[in-house]
Structure 1
Amino acid sequence: MTDPEPTARRIVFVTGPSGAGRSSALNVLEDAGFEAVDNLPLRLLPALLDGPHSDRPLALGIDPRNRDFSTNAIIDLLGRLTGVSGLAPELLYLDCSTDVLLRRFSETRRRHPLAPDDRPSEGIIRELDMLGPLRARADVLIDTTDLNVHQLRAEVEHWFAPGGQRRLTVSVQSFSYKRGLPRSVDMVFDCRFLSNPYWVPDLRNLDGTSQPVADHVTADPRFADFEQQVLSLSLLLLPAYRDEGKSYLSIAFGCTGGKHRSVVMAERHALRLAEAGWQVSIRHRELDLRKKEEA
């Protein structure tokens, strides 16, 4: 996949399992200047594209409720549109863990569209299985498992600039190995070999965004080489991923609790990449979760 023509009209297909935030993402894109259309039958898309010319980028919501929904048809359509001069199609997939989807359906007491007379869990399983090929084909994948509506808005706005110009965007995050690897990450680095501030009483209750913790972690004699090697690897791979047409890359740093060492590395790595001219977002999974629980 190559970068689109500067004047190409961006067309973003938005999909994902029911309850993952597809409608919310469409609303964000509409606020960002996209012309948003939800549940448009695929057979009507040519008429929409051949209609009155518009300079606005287009966002199309698609899910299994569409009468002519077909994963193969969507993938074929994306392939055909990619070869059309003046168009720049992309697929945005909103992902979410099964247990969180089930919880959301339980909280809203909605019936699942693929299992109106059955348990929501049955519909979730069917839909995730049906959408698997689209998830694998996605140009941009946003995992909404741990995101609230405000964080989802920030993620969508970050990936899709108002001007509609595609570029490689980098997501850097920290996490705790106790809660498992983050979903949909491309590169993972283990920081558990670094000196742990947890064992320093004055630092235990602080986190990696504080200067005393950062000073402690960076004082580890192994830190400087580790940081430089990770940075060199990232700066080697990012242009290659961009040249291959990848729209995003997710880099994660993990430690035992996701509070100290991984946060320091994520903060510093995001800053170095930004200084090198890359578009970077940063997220600390465990710190964000703690703030959410305290709110």
Structure 2
Amino acid sequence: MLEAEQKAVPAVLVTGPSGAGRTTAINVLEDLGFEAIDNLPLRLLPGLIDAAAAPRPMALGLDSRNRDFSPRALLDVIDMLSGRREVELTVLYLDSKPDVLLRRYSETRRRHPLAPAESPGEGVRRELDLMAPIRDRADILLDTSDMNVHQLKAEIERWFAPEGRALALSVQSFSYKRGMPHGIDMVFDCRFLANPYWRPELRRHNGTEAAVQDYVKSDSRFTPFFTRVLDLTRLLLPAYREEGKSHFSIAFGCTGGQHRSVAMAETLAKALAEDGLQVSIRHRELQGQRKK
């Protein structure tokens, strides 16, 4: 008799710039039943997961203060964990506006870890530049700029509370010039649609704006394409939810990642949100612009 296949253990890797709320998020996940481990050296993570005695969800806190931190090293760890069948990895990136991070440091009078002998503003700038590749790789990106501790707690619970948790859905756009994003479940190419770039009055705008969306939708191929993508998504999401998947990502690509892919992502996300699904939008070429 064949043994039942072991269910993948959820692991949330929590990262982001110092001051964006990573410690709060780790504490909330621990309260939700996750085994929380913060600031463990990167080289020890694979062995830690191998040694886990029970299939308990894990929350792993990492940022630039880790002893052996580097963007490449962290991306390598993410790639390694994403390739393991026994682990279901979600990269949670907590972000915040530079002026908000600076204000938080000024209020606490703390020294920034990347600029201990310089101004906090210099440290904030360095860390945001350092963390940019990790931000691009995140599955869930939360901007905490306008959140207090209680609001951040509620947002984390909305994504990760085990009781009755909905499938977290991410809809993204990207440019093929910069390559496909990692960790995407479904990818659709939008380069066959009418391109607003060739309209001078639309070139400097993007697909989050109504004029660009209307132009893309005026292409006779848009409606049948969108309808089929929406129907396919509605068909697949319940099946993935039944399999225990906690996060599903859909990406649309076009040449520059500014117009067609953005318009398609916005339109699909709106339709799925109207279905009552939990949706996060991310536009990689628009500096991670998103809405929920």
Change (3 A) 1:13 1:142: same
Give the superposition deviation at 1:56.
1.4
Match of 2:94 in 1: 94
Change (3 A) 1:124 1:55: same
Give the superposition deviation at 1:145.
0.9
Does the 8 Å contact 2:93/2:141 carry over to 1? yes
Match of 1:72 in 2: 72
Task: Tell me, in whole angstroms, the C-alpha distance in 1 between the residues paired with 2:227 and 2:91.
Answer: 30
Letter in 1 for 2:278: Q
- Unaligned regions of 5+ residues in structure 2, if any? 172-205, 212-225, 241-245, 251-269, 281-292
1:149-201 per-position Cα deviation (integer Å, ceiling 9, x unaligned) = 11111111111232697833379xxxxxxxxxxxxxx974659xxxxxxxxxx
1:106-153 per-position Cα deviation (integer Å, ceiling 9, x unaligned) = 111111011111000000011001000000000110011111111111
SS of 1:90's equivalent? strand
The residue correspondences of 1:37-52 to structure 2 (distance < 5 A) are 37-52=37-52
**Correspondence 1:9 to 2:9:** yes
Match of 2:257 in 1: none
Task: Tell me, in whole angstroms, the C-alpha distance in 1 between the residues paired with 2:136 and 2:232.
Answer: 21
Does the 8 Å contact 1:14/1:59 carry over to 2? yes
Task: Tell me, in whole angstroms, the C-alpha distance in 2 between the residues paired with 1:187 and 1:79.
Answer: 30
Task: Tell me, in whole angstroms, the C-alpha distance in 1 between the residues paired with 2:167 and 2:92.
Answer: 14
Task: Tell me, in whole angstroms, the C-alpha distance in 2 between the residues paired with 1:143 and 1:237.
Answer: 30
How does the TM-score come out when normalised to structure 1?
A: 0.60
Task: Tell me, in whole angstroms, the C-alpha distance in 2 between the residues paired with 1:47 and 1:164.
Answer: 31
Letter in 2 for 1:84: R
SS of 2:40's equivalent? coil
Match of 1:36 in 2: 36
Does the 8 Å contact 1:25/1:152 carry over to 2? yes
Task: Tell me, in whole angstroms, the C-alpha distance in 2 between the residues paired with 1:58 and 1:26.
Answer: 10
The residue correspondences of 1:140-179 to structure 2 (distance < 5 A) are 140-162=140-162, 167-169=167-169
1:185-227 per-position Cα deviation (integer Å, ceiling 9, x unaligned) = x974659xxxxxxxxxxxxxxxxxxxxxxxxxxxxxxxxxxxx
Change (3 A) 1:148 1:232: farther
Change (3 A) 1:113 1:169: same
**Correspondence 1:139 to 2:178:** no
Give the superposition deviation at 1:17.
0.5
Letter in 1 for 2:36: A
Give the superposition deviation at 1:241.
10
Match of 1:273 among 256, 275, 278: 275
Give the superposition deviation at 1:279.
3.3
1:215-258 per-position Cα deviation (integer Å, ceiling 9, x unaligned) = xxxxxxxxxxxxxxxx9799468559979x96468xxxxxxxxx
SS of 1:33's equivalent? coil
SS of 1:75's equivalent? helix
Does the 8 Å contact 1:167/1:247 carry over to 2? yes
Change (3 A) 1:109 1:246: same
Give the superposition deviation at 1:46.
2.7
Change (3 A) 1:241 1:187: farther
SS of 2:65's equivalent? coil
Higher Cα Rg: structure 1 or 2?
1
SS of 1:37's equivalent? strand
1:40-59 per-position Cα deviation (integer Å, ceiling 9, x unaligned) = 00122133223241221101
Match of 1:129 in 2: 129
Change (3 A) 1:73 1:280: closer
Task: Tell me, in whole angstroms, the C-alpha distance in 2 between the residues paired with 1:241 and 1:69.
Answer: 37
CA RMSD of aligned residues (A): 4.1
Match of 2:179 in 1: none
SS of 2:141's equivalent? strand
Does the 8 Å contact 1:8/1:87 carry over to 2? yes
Q: Give aligned-pair identity as a percent.
A: 51
Task: Tell me, in whole angstroms, the C-alpha distance in 2 between the residues paired with 1:72 and 1:240.
Answer: 37
